[in-house]
């Protein structure tokens, strides 16, 4: 089995190529010893099986961030039988830096000029055949989102593997060496006799000149002290700026190569009338909000029929389960178990997948058509204060519809640190269900004053953003690693529906498999603790546990019924109202703690009679920042591949919500 590594900058089309090649035959995890996402898959061509590794996006082979470290290490060790360097054909001068930085690595390589259609739209013509002759490696003009071009990809891949094509260093060396300055050759002489693997002496010498910390450490330990001092003397020579020297050499290599193979029709850069408004620093934000509201509305139109169908089928399935159990003479508890755990859990999961599917489709459309870049640009100035890019705005905004789906949307961000931090912020953004619970309770206890809670809620969300940036920002996105967003506005074009739908369905299925396990486990736990032979909640383990923990929960202003309802909200926000209906009414409906998603008809009266104002305030504020539903937790785990980070985020929000409840309750005791 041969291994193909995909190497390129973020947003170069690596993921599109990876998904098209591997389909459902892929898995995602973390690199050994690193909390950096590792995507690996398989495909068959002819009679051979190939492994594809999608390396973390990187602008070069200098290892600064954790993602770049993983990419650099993989390339240096020569693990791949073929490295596919993917570049944006519309921005060749910038994106070819990766190729220039790869010169001196003796791994077989092919160059993929992706997004050739966009380059042609910009009036750029690239002579692929001539470029191949100049570089002496296979070069492919390509559109990763067009399935018709993959036969040419496979043919070029086989040619690269069979010819063992590598890039010659001669041309790159000629740009680094001058008659007055032979510093590269002198450094290469000092590297004689060292085992360098797939790296040529030229590559090591260039990294020494760039003061690359990993290479400097390696060479210092590989040579004796006398030779290292000689190397240091060359590096410290007056007038030799190593980083500047190699940077200029690489860009000369790129520009001289492109000069021979590209022609560009002079086009006046002119924004359309719409883009003048869409990218305006003020009006652009209004346009973005309007488009995103429409996008969420479309998402709801897609998701609501799916959700209604799921709960409708649940209503049909549950009586059938009861009848079947009765016909077999099984205990009523068996029917309760099957309905509460398996049927109810499956219905909730599939219903929530409707939101995930809808958001991934609408996000994909926004990116495919070209508008995502506009909205990212408009909100970059706001989000950069938190350390994020403007790309984070769409997932954060879509959290108002479904936090679980929005977590998937963080994939548009460049680095793992950005994605993790965006997830931390996302957990504080209330979905529609959480807002409805908070406002319902506010209206029960405070009537016409309820809208004030909405204003307070929004203010507290922004306050939580500030707190999260202080606690997590520097750890996940060190200030030294933060860079501004440089982006060319892509042309508007029709979406590639086939690729989009395939990718969305595959991602939804992967999320579903993870989420259903979590939801069934939580459903089983709640069913067990709420079970009693006669169906009366006072005779259940839940009641016993509730009374036992009440001295503790009362610290936060929640008697046991409220605290159990608070925990029930972890399953789904609506479920907290269903739990209240059961525990406050003390009915014989204890089995429906999880599946009941609505408040009882007289819940408001029961709560006003049983719950004091300070307790109500404590519960409302605790609910505002309670952890999202188990679907979101399962999705977060699926996206981070880290139980530690998922647990840390959950613990953080438990601390915020219970801390708020404690403060609000004890202040309210003085007032009321």
Report the pLDDT averaged over residues 637-653.
Answer: 89
Which carries the bigger pLDDT value, residue 625 or residue 602?
Answer: 625
> What kind of architecture, by CATH, is found in domain 2-168?
3-Layer(aba) Sandwich (3.40)
Report the pLDDT averaged over residues 168-187.
Answer: 78
pLDDT in tens, 40-67: 999 999 889 999 999 988 888 887 777 7
For helices 541-553 and 560-568, angle between their N-to-C axes, nearest 10 degrees: 110
Q: Is the pTM of this model over 0.85?
A: no
| Angle formed at CA 504 by CA 502 and CA 508, multiple of 5 degrees | 120
Q: Tell the burial category of 177 from Cβ atoms under 10 Å away from its Cβ (0-12, 13-18, 19+).
A: middle
pLDDT in tens, 523-542: 777 777 777 776 666 677 87
What pLDDT does residue 590 have?
A: 38
Confidence of residue 268 (pLDDT cuts 50, 70, 90): low
Instruction: Kindly write down the DSSP assignment for every residue of 134-194, as one continuous string.
Output: HHTS-EEE--TT-GGGHHHHHHHHHHHHHHT----SHHHHHHH--SS--HHHHHHHHTTT-
Dihedral pair phi/psi, residue 84, rounded to 5°: -95, 110
Q: What is the CA radius of gyration of the chain?
A: 29
What pLDDT does residue 86 have?
A: 94
The mean of the pLDDT values for the chain is 81
- Identify the CA nearest to 31 among candidates 64, 7, 67, 3: 67
What pLDDT does residue 536 have?
A: 65
Q: 10 Å Cβ neighbour count for 473?
A: 20
**Alpha carbon distance 198, 104 (integer Å):** 8
What pLDDT does residue 181 have?
A: 63
Which carries the bigger pLDDT value, residue 384 or residue 30?
Answer: 384
Report the pLDDT averaged over residues 433-462.
Answer: 80
Report the pLDDT averaged over residues 365-385.
Answer: 79
What pLDDT does residue 443 have?
A: 80
Range with the largest mean pLDDT of 112-116, 172-176, 300-304, 445-449 = 112-116
Top CATH class of 171-264 equals mainly alpha
**Alpha carbon distance 86, 155 (integer Å):** 16
Q: What is the dihedral of CA 418, 422, 424, 426, to 10 degrees?
A: -170
**Alpha carbon distance 551, 189 (integer Å):** 76
User: Residues with Cβ < 8 Å from 55, sequence gap 6 or more?
Assistant: 5, 6, 7, 14, 70, 71, 74, 75
**Alpha carbon distance 593, 526 (integer Å):** 8
All structural domains of the chain with their residue ranges: 2-168, 171-264
pLDDT in tens, 11-30: 788 888 998 898 877 777 77
């Amino acid at each position: 089995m041969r291994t193909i590594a995909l190497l390129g900058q973020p947003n170069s089309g690596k993921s599109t190529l990876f998904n098209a090649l591997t389909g459902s035959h892929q898995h995602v995890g973390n690199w050994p010893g690193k909390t950096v996402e590792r995507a690996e898959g398989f495909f068959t061509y002819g009679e051979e099986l190939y492994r594809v590794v999608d390396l973390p996006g990187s602008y070069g082979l200098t290892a600064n961030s954790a993602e770049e470290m993983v990419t650099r290490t993989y390339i240096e060790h020569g693990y791949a039988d073929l490295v596919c360097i993917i570049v944006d054909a519309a921005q060749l001068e910038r994106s070819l830096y990766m190729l220039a930085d790869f010169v001196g690595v003796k791994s077989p390589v092919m160059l993929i000029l992706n997004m050739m259609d966009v380059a042609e739209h910009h009036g750029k013509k690239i002579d692929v055949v001539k470029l191949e002759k100049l570089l002496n490696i296979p070069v492919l003009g390509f559109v990763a989102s067009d399935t018709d071009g993959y036969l040419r990809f496979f043919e070029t891949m086989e040619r690269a593997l069979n010819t063992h094509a590598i890039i010659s260093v001669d041309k790159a060396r000629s740009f680094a060496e001058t008659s007055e300055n032979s510093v590269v050759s002198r450094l290469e002489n000092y590297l004689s006799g060292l085992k360098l693997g797939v790296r040529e002496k030229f590559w090591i010498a260039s990294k020494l000149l760039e003061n690359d910390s990993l290479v400097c450490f390696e060479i210092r330990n590989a040579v004796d002290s006398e030779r290292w001092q000689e190397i240091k003397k060359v590096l410290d020579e007056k007038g030799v700026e190593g980083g500047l020297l190699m940077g200029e050499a690489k860009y000369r290599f790129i520009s001289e190569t492109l000069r021979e193979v590209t022609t560009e029709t002079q086009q006046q850069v002119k924004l359309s009338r719409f883009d003048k408004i869409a990218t305006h620093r003020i009006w652009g934000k209004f346009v973005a909000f309007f488009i995103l509201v429409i996008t969420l509305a479309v998402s709801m139109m897609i998701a609501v029929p799916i959700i209604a169908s799921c709960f409708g089928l649940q209503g049909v399935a549950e009586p059938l389960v009861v009848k079947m159990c009765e016909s077999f003479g099984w205990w009523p508890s068996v029917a309760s178990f099957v309905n509460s755990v398996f049927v109810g859990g499956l219905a909730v999961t599939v219903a929530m997948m409707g939101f995930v599917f809808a958001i991934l489709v609408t996000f994909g459309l926004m990116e495919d058509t070209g508008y995502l870049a506009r909205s990212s640009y408009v909100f970059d100035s706001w989000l950069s204060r938190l350390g994020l890019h403007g790309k984070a705005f769409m997932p954060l905004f879509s959290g108002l519809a479904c936090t679980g789906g929005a977590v998937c949307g963080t994939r548009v961000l460049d680095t793992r640190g950005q994605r993790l931090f965006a997830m931390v912020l996302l957990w504080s953004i209330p979905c529609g269900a959480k807002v409805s619970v908070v406002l319902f309770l506010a209206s029960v206890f405070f009537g016409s004053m309820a809208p004030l809670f909405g204003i307070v809620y929004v203010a507290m969300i922004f306050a939580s953003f500030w707190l999260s940036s202080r606690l997590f920002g520097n750890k996940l996105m060190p200030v030294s690693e933060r860079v501004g967003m440089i982006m060319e506005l892509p042309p508007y074009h029709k979406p590639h529906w086939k690729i989009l739908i395939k990718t969305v369905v595959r991602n939804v299925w992967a999320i579903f498999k993870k989420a259903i396990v979590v939801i069934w486990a939580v459903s089983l736990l709640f069913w067990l603790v709420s079970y009693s032979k006669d169906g009366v909640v006072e005779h259940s383990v839940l009641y016993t546990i509730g009374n036992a923990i009440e001295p503790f929960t009362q610290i936060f202003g929640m008697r046991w019924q409220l605290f159990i309802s608070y925990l029930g909200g972890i399953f789904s926000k609506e479920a907290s109202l269903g739990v209240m209906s059961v525990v406050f009414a003390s009915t014989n409906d204890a089995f429906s703690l999880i599946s009941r998603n609505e408040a009882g008809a007289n819940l408001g009266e029961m709560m006003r009679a049983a719950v004091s104002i300070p307790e109500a305030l404590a519960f409302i504020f605790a609910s505002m920042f309670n952890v999202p539903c188990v679907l979101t937790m399962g999705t977060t785990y699926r996206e981070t591949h880290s139980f530690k980070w998922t647990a840390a985020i959950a613990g953080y929000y438990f601390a915020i919500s219970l801390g708020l409840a404690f403060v609000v309750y004890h202040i309210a005791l003085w007032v009321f």
